Each structure stands twice: as structure tokens, then as C-alpha cells.
Amino acid sequence: MGPVKPNHSGRWLWAAVVAAGLGLIVTSVTGRSEILQDLLAWASLGLAVIAIVLFTNEQSQREEDRLQGEGRLKLLQEDLERQRQNVDALGEGMDVAILVCDERATISYANRAAKEMFRTQDPAGRSLLAITLNYDLEQLALLAGRDRTEQNAELTFAYPTDRVGLAKAWSVESLPGRVFVTVVEITDLRRLERVRTDFVSNVSHELRTPLTLIRAMAETLLDDKGKDKELFERYLGKVIEEVDRLSGITSDLLTLSSAESNPVRKAPCDVVEVFSNVVNQFQSKAAEKELELTFEGPEHLVIEANTAQMTQVAINLVDNAINYTQAGSVKVSVSASEDEAMVTVADTGIGIPSDHHQRVFERFYRVDRGRSRTLGGTGLGLSIVKNIVESHGGEITVESALNRGSTFTVKLPLGASISEG
Ligand code: ADP
């Protein structure tokens, strides 16, 4: 708004009245000279007219100023409303939970993310503790309000689900009695960190075992200086076994890492061809254990997939089925429904207890560590399979009962290009 102008209009009105009055008085006093009388009358009239014109001018100027003031006020109000809408849109659109409370931690505003995070419809007027069921968060807000300091903490929320969040509470000098609280959810981040540390410690453990064995055997052979020929041959054979295990682990780790990090390059892939080829490759291994290894399916089933990765899935599943079956059969079958391809690998082997069904897909998880080790397993086969299947938009499940065999089922979306023969 511009500077306020002084109000002179009353003065001009008075000037007009005084000029007119003065004219009348002078006219009556100088009644004897007609010329003088006329001159004075005209002069007073002129003065009065000028004063009236000035008065009218000022009136219209004031009216103009008033209208301008009202216009500016309206603009300011509109601007204020736009800013409020911006803040609302920002608050509602952000994935960070934002809460505004008073100094006693009573909520006056909560954005969409906060309502979703704490599953509440209308938290305004309720206490922060009642909404979040988190005592530490309430203390953070109370402290920020009381000490006028910024408070930060990593908090664990148990309600409505287990979550980890980075909470911050602060207040602003110019807005007394108000405390702002934000919570950034970092549950996934912390989970990934845990997976990473578990993975590193698992890898170290897996590598250390064969390395320790190799070192112990090498030392024994060195001490013996080749005197015991039978020990020499046996230990060297074991060293080769452990080295093979190490290279198995490293190659599985590389496969897993490439399956996790590289985007899947898909092309038309005949799953029938992939699985029947792998079944053929494993015939001699199955025959060694006198197992019946069969394949059944249509002539072709083409889906959008990465053929190399599908071959890896087939190898890992068929290899496991043979490894963990002492007698009976391994049956691989491929079929298609309207929108997905289904592959099952069923064996009559040792089976998996039900409480291990989900865990067998975790990296390095084995039901029986000793047995897996004897069979040359790395504990990574099924996690590689799960990773590849899921990166193709599919899923893998297992049905199994102890000593009655296992059936692994892979379902894959057919994708754009499909032909069944
Ligand atoms: P491994 O290299 O030990 O076979 P995998 O990741 O392939 O590792 O499998 C994880 C664990 O799941 C195995 O150690 C084994 O205990 C169990 N398992 C996998 N396939 C079968 C199966 N067909 N029958 C019984 N147990 C199985």
C-alpha cells in the first residue's frame, strides 16, 4: 500500500465559504463604488469557485485512493490464499509425515503421509501420543517446544506396524506455541542394511570354511614331506574338492549379483526347449543314482524371457531335485494357462519340513548344512532361482513334506509374444 495522503478537503471547503462571505462583506462595506463593488464581487466569486473545484478534486482523489486500497487488499488476500494452497499441496504431496502441534503436543495439523503412517482419519485436537503410541516422539515434541531447540532421533514405531523412522521436532521464534514434527520412514533402508551385513558375514563364513580346511591339509602334507603316499593322495583330493567348492561359491555369487543388478534382457524364449534340454543334460547324473528323470509338456511354449537365466533356473531346480532324492523319480513338466506358463519340478526325495519352506529361498540357507556340504551345495541355488523368476514378474513356491518329496512350482507371465504348440 502507498503512503497515506493528508486530508485537505475540509480546508478547501472552508476557504470557499470564507471567500464567498468575504465578498459579501466587502461588497456591502464598499457600497458606494459600483466598479469596486463589481471587482470585489467577481474576485470573491472566483476565489469561491477555485476553492470548490479544489475541494471536488480532492474528494475524487480520495475516492480513487480508497478504491485502489481495496484493490490492493483483494490482491493481497488472493496472494495469501494461493500461498496457503501451495503449502497445503506440498504438505499433502510429500511422503514425509508432517505434524503441527502446540507446546503440549496436541496436534493441530497432520498431512496425508502422517495420517497414512499412523492410520488415523482426523488427528486434529488429539495428542501426539494417542495418535502415534510413541512416547519418545511425544517427548521429542515437548522438548522442542520447551527448549526451543531442534530435536532429532531414530525411533522405532510398533503401531500400526513395526517401522523405523527418523523423527525431527522444532519450533520457530516467530510462531510461538507451535511445534513442527516430521517423520521420515527408513524401515526398508534399515532392513537392506541388515541384509547386506548378514550377507557379508555369511559370505565370509562360507569362504573361510574351505580356506581353513585347505590350509590345515596343506600344513599336514608339508609336515609329512610325502612319506605317507595314501595321506598325500587323499588330502590332495580333498584340497581339489574344497577349491571346487570355493569356485562354486564365487561363480554362484557372480550369477546372483548379475541377476540382481542387470536389467533383464528379454526375448522370445521357448521354456519347453530350455527345460527339456536341461533334463537331457542331467540324465547321466540321474542314472548314476538310478533315478527316473522325465519331462512332459507341449511341443513349444514361448514366453518373453531371458533364455540364459531360464536355463539357470532349470539347472538349479533339476540339480537340487536329483541331489536331494535317494530313490524314485524327478518329474519336470511345463504347461500353460491363459496368461502364464507353469513349470513344476517334482521329486520323491527327502522333502523339506514346512517351517523351512520360505527360508530355503534365502541366501546361504540350508535345511541340513552337513548334507548340502556333502552334496557340494553352495546354499545360493534357490535364491538365484527366486531372484530370476521375480525379475521376470513371476513367482516360485514349494510344496513339500518330510521324506515324501518336494514340488517346486514356477509361474511366469506369458508376456507379449506367446505361441504354444
Ligand atoms: P544348496 O546349494 O544347499 O542346494 P539351495 O539354495 O539350492 O542350496 O537350496 C537351499 C536348501 O533347500 C538346500 O540346502 C536344501 O536343504 C533345501 N532343498 C532345496 N531343494 C530341495 C529338494 N528338491 N528337496 C529337498 N530339499 C531341498
Per-residue pLDDT in tens (0 to 9) along the chain, 421 residues:
444 455 555 666 677 677 667 766 766 665 556 777 778 778 878 888 888 888 888 888 888 888 888 889 999 999 999 998 998 899 999 999 999 999 999 999 999 999 999 999 999 999 999 999 999 999 999 999 999 999 999 999 998 889 999 999 999 989 999 999 999 999 999 999 988 898 899 899 889 989 999 999 999 999 999 899 999 999 999 999 999 999 999 999 999 888 888 788 889 999 999 999 999 999 999 999 999 999 999 999 999 999 999 999 999 999 999 999 999 999 999 999 888 999 999 999 999 999 999 899 999 999 988 888 888 888 999 999 999 999 999 999 999 999 999 999 999 998 754 444 4
Evaluate: CB of 410 within 6 angstroms of ligand 1: no
Report how far residue 181's alpha carbon sits from residue 165's, in angstroms, rounded to the nearest whole number: 12
Distance 319 CA to ligand 1 centre (A): 9
Helices (H), 30-148: 34-93, 112-117, 128-132, 135-147
Q: What are phi and psi of 134, to 5 degrees?
A: -125, 110
CB count in 10 Å sphere of residue 49:
13
Give the residue, by CA position, lying nearest to ligand 1 atom 20: 320
Distance 366 CA to ligand 1 centre (A): 6
CB count in 10 Å sphere of residue 313:
30
Our mutation pick for probing the ligand 1 site, out of 209, 320, 343, 358, counting the most ligand atoms within 8 A of Cβ, is: 320
pTM of the model: 0.66
Distance 205 CA to ligand 1 centre (A): 19
Give the residue, by CA position, lying nearest to ligand 1 atom 23: 321
109, containing H or E segment: strand 107-110
Residue 74, classified by CB atoms within 10 Å of its CB into exposed (0-12), middle (13-18) or buried (19+), is exposed
310-313 long-range contacts (CB < 8 A, ≥24 apart) are 310/269, 310/271, 310/274, 310/388, 311/274, 311/277, 311/278, 312/255, 312/259, 312/384, 312/385, 312/388, 313/385, 313/388, 313/389, 313/410
Give the residue, by CA position, lying nearest to ligand 1 atom 16: 367
Evaluate: CB of 324 within 6 angstroms of ligand 1: yes
Evaluate: CB of 378 within 6 angstroms of ligand 1: yes
Cell numbers found for residue 247: 569356485
Residue pair 132/174 in contact (Cβ under 8 Å)? The answer is: no
Evaluate: CB of 279 within 6 angstroms of ligand 1: no
Q: Which ligand 1 atom sits closest to the C-alpha of 316?
A: 7
Residue type, 420: E
Residue type, 280: N
Residue pair 410/336 in contact (Cβ under 8 Å)? The answer is: no
Cell numbers found for residue 144: 522442542
pLDDT value of position 3 = 46
